[in-house]
Chain A
Amino acid sequence: MSLTATTPARNAAPPQRRGAPRRSRFGFHARMMAPGILLLAVLSLIPLFTVIAMSVSQVRLLGGVSFGFVGAENWARFLTDVDLALQWVRTLVFFVLTVGLEMLLGVGLALCLWKLLRGRNAVLGLLLLPMFVAPVIVGLLGRFLTDSTFGLYHWLLGLAGFEGDLLGGTYSAFAAVVLMDVWQWTPLITLIALAGLTSVPQSIREAAALDGASGWQALRSIILPSISGVLLVALLIRAMDAIRYFDIIAVTTNGGPADATKVVPIRLYETAFRFFDLGYAAVIGLVMLAVTVAIARAFVGILESKGLTR
């Protein structure tokens, strides 16, 4: 059998059998994918383009939704909105605090659990409970527990000498909503980190111990690098959630007091569904989307550079 093949001339038309049906422009695979692509278009692309159209329009509701083109008016307003700029700063502070605390506590708890030989599953089960509660319920729990008339935490803080109202002060309210989020989502980081820790090869750890590495050295040079990919995924998940944080603040402080907890998602909700200023809300939403995508891309880029996406 010869291994030599002759290459057909590039411009030569393929021979067509007489009477054979003409080949369709879209092949079998494209036709099989078409329903899925159409569904995706309906669910994602049409809303996206609609929101983009809204961002350059004044949206009227009565008598059926109608868009009146206003050019870049909404975008110009966005660029000069000082309140929104402050809300972005607040959102970023919130983002850094929640994600940072969750990562620290989550990894710390995972390391403790990893060392726990007996009852690990029971402790892990208890630890995961907050994660299964709906965020709005976490908000309500937080509100009731810090209520100055009947709240348990308020009473405990009173015993410790804290006289004020936790949700009444600007700094304390911000700290309270950060801690509520940390309470709820630290277990997720713990779970992911623990999964990563259990996959660190025993042989490497034993080799490090034989070489005389201390606990801290082993943690810094062996364990953390081994689970860094898993931690990045955890960070990615939480980062994208934190930037869209809404429920707990909406239930507890509604953005107050004195706007201290008004983050961008609260402002977006307010603009869209309280003021029905849908054109401007579309601008805020699109910028939020862009920021979320940028954060996701940054993390995915890091993962790619580590060769962890293949």
Chain B
Amino acid sequence: MTQRGVLDRRTLLRGAAGLAAFCGLNAASAACGGRKDAVRIATDDRWRQFAGTTLNFISENTAPTAAIAANLRPFTELTGINVNIVTLELTALVQKVALDLAGGESQYHVIYADPYQVLAPYSKGLVDLRELAADSSLPGLEGGFADFIPTQLDAAGRFGGGDEIFALPYDCPTMVWQYRADLFAKHHDRMADDLGFDPTPGAERTWEEYFRIARWFNDNTDDVAYGTGHQAKQHDSLQCDFSNVLWAFGGDYFDHGDRLGRYGTVEPGDCRLDTDPAIEAAQFYRRLLSIADPSSRTWDWNGLAPALTSGRIAMCPNWHEYAAGNEQAMPGKFGYAPLPRGTARSANIYGGTGIAINGNTLPNERRAAWLFVNWATAPRTQLANLASDAGGGTPTRESVYALPEVRAAEQRPSDLPNILTAPAVRKAWQPENIGLRPKIPMWNECDTAIYTQLSKMLAGDLSPADAMRETTARINRITDRGWSA
């Protein structure tokens, strides 16, 4: 019954439904078609034309990003742009980036573009940075693209056969030989007498000598529990650790590995892990792991680093950016060298990454994002990160390594512990020594096949030859399926 002037239940429900529909439509229109571009301010200062804009940068939780996050104020003061930094574990980052690109959104304007997990599969969703670098209304790239270390610009920034540059090299972790210099000095003469060669780590050492040094530590000292440790968990780290040996012995994942590593392709051809050099490398790797710390099979790079700094092992191959942590734990007791040679060469796997701009960004957002990408990879920012208490990596620009204060810091005592590795990584980055994984969009799946079969080999389930042949068959199946992003 309805009384005059009193709302009955039906009217109330209708009103509520109408209001809900109105709100829903508004929300939907805001979500679907209401994206607004950043506002461009009329100013002569090319750095400040997007003041007031907010950018989102998604990055792996790495030391360089920790340093950037701690050192953002100069960028905000320079540009008036606020930057939100989201740091995640790499797998989670890749998921978020993929979903952002799939949704046609640019929730993340600036992307930490891992060459193998983001750049290769999603290069079509990233902006060609050459266009922004050439835009006269925007600040240019200090030193130009040529200031970046060439192998790194290719590996972290390009994909496919074109000239496009999708990312600027942002960090450059590279595996080097990390060792307890104090123990090598202490036992040098005895070791040299027993082994019959100078055990000092360096590019002239061979993997066979590395093996013998490790065994010598196992058998002859109580200073450490084991001579060597490795990152041989069933994880990406196992593939990285093995790749150093594979390339050193002349093996490779595919034909033309150098070109595949620098530029990448969608069609890599047949896998070559079933060749004799690859099998020889697998045999050596299994032998090496048999005398390594048994816990190596449970460590990734984050597990291996504390094993070295806690005094459990005398040496290991690990990413050079752990140097700062080493120096903090035992100042002055570590040394760094390029990884040993195999029958073919010394190979040091490169794990660097670039930062890219999401292709879904609107024009002004894109320009604002360029300001951040430009600043974050600028020489002065890289120098500041090198000295950051929050972590920091090593520079990706040649000009920074040439600075007198950086040159001076390569020797102890040094205020910039990461740069103590500079002589080792400089050799490691030379084209003949760098180790580059195949930059293919289906690498993640191939990577999993590689480290799973290697893990089976280390567990004794497969012989080295069978592991390599099985991996070859699996990789061929994966690449035969092709890729379409």
Contact = CB atoms under 8 A, between A and B. Distances in A.
Interface of A: 58, 60-65, 68, 147-150, 163-165, 167-170, 253-260, 270, 273-277
A250 to B, nearest CB: 10
Given A63-B104, A149-B312, A274 B448 contact: yes
B413 interface: no
A62 B294 contact: no
B294 A275 contact: no
Nearest to A167: B298
Interface residues of B, number: 38
Contacts of A65: 102-103
Given A61-B485, A254-B235, A255-B234, A168 B298 contact: yes
Given A149-B312, A273-B95, A259 B452 contact: yes
Contacts of B445: 274-275, 277
Interface stretch (B68-76, B252-260, B385-393, B453-461): B453-461
Contact of A60 (B233, B442, B485): B485
Contacts of A258: 234, 452, 455-456, 458-459, 461
Interface string B414-445: 00000000000000000000000000001011
A256 B101 contact: no
Given A170-B461, A258-B456, A259-B455, 12 more contacts: A60-B484, A62-B124, A62-B125, A165-B297, A168-B297, A169-B459, A170-B459, A257-B233, A257-B234, A259-B456, A274-B448, A275-B442
A270 B448 contact: yes
Interface string B288-312: 0000011101100001001100101
B2 interface: no
B98 interface: yes
A62 B485 contact: yes
Contact of B459 (A63, A68, A257, A273): A257
A304 B4 CA distance: 55
A174 B452 CA distance: 16
B238 to A, nearest CB: 9
A252 B388 CA distance: 32
Closest 4 CB pairs of A and B: A256-B234, A148-B295, A258-B459, A61-B102
Nearest to B91: A274
Main DSSP-derived SS at the B contact region: helix
A243 B206 CA distance: 48
A58 B484 contact: yes
A65 B484 CA distance: 12
A154 B103 CA distance: 46
B184 interface: no
Contact of B455 (A147, A257, A275): A257
Contacts of B234: 253-259
A274 B98 CA distance: 10
Contacts of A277: 445
B358 to A, nearest CB: 12
B218 to A, nearest CB: 14
Contacts of B233: 254, 256-257
Contacts of A168: 294-295, 297-298
A165 B103 contact: no
B98 A276 contact: yes
B122 interface: yes
A274 B444 contact: yes
A147 B444 CA distance: 27
A127 B101 CA distance: 47
Contacts of B104: 63-64
B101 A62 contact: yes
24 contacts: A60-B484, A60-B485, A61-B485, A62-B101, A63-B124, A147-B303, A148-B294, A148-B295, A149-B306, A164-B294, A165-B298, A167-B298, A168-B297, A253-B234, A254-B234, A255-B234, A257-B455, A258-B459, A259-B234, A259-B452, A270-B448, A273-B91, A275-B444, A277-B445
A61 B234 CA distance: 28
B20 to A, nearest CB: 10
Contacts of A274: 91, 94, 444-445, 448
B292 to A, nearest CB: 11
B121 interface: yes
Nearest to A277: B445
Contacts of A163: 294
Contacts of A148: 293-295, 298
A228 B94 CA distance: 47
A61 B441 CA distance: 13
Contacts of B124: 62-63
Interface string B264-293: 000000000000000000000000000001
A270 B104 CA distance: 24
Interface in B297-337: 297-298, 303, 306-307, 310, 312
Most buried by B among A65, A163, A167, A256: A256
A259 B238 CA distance: 14
A179 B312 CA distance: 28
A27 to B, nearest CB: 15
Most buried by B among A63, A169, A270: A63
B38 to A, nearest CB: 23
A149 B316 CA distance: 15
A270 B293 CA distance: 29
B46 to A, nearest CB: 32
A14 B219 CA distance: 101
Nearest to B313: A149
A61 B104 CA distance: 9
Contacts of B102: 61-62, 64-65
A253 B300 CA distance: 11
Nearest to A32: B13
B314 to A, nearest CB: 15
A149 B297 contact: no
Contacts of B235: 254, 256
Interface string B115-132: 000000110110000000
Contacts of B95: 273
A42 to B, nearest CB: 12
A58 B482 CA distance: 11
Contacts of A270: 448
B305 to A, nearest CB: 11
Nearest to A271: B445
Contacts of A68: 484
B444 to A, nearest CB: 5
Interface in B453-485: 455-456, 458-459, 461, 484-485
Contacts of B98: 61, 276
B122 A149 contact: no
Nearest to A164: B294
Nearest to A273: B95
Nearest to A269: B91
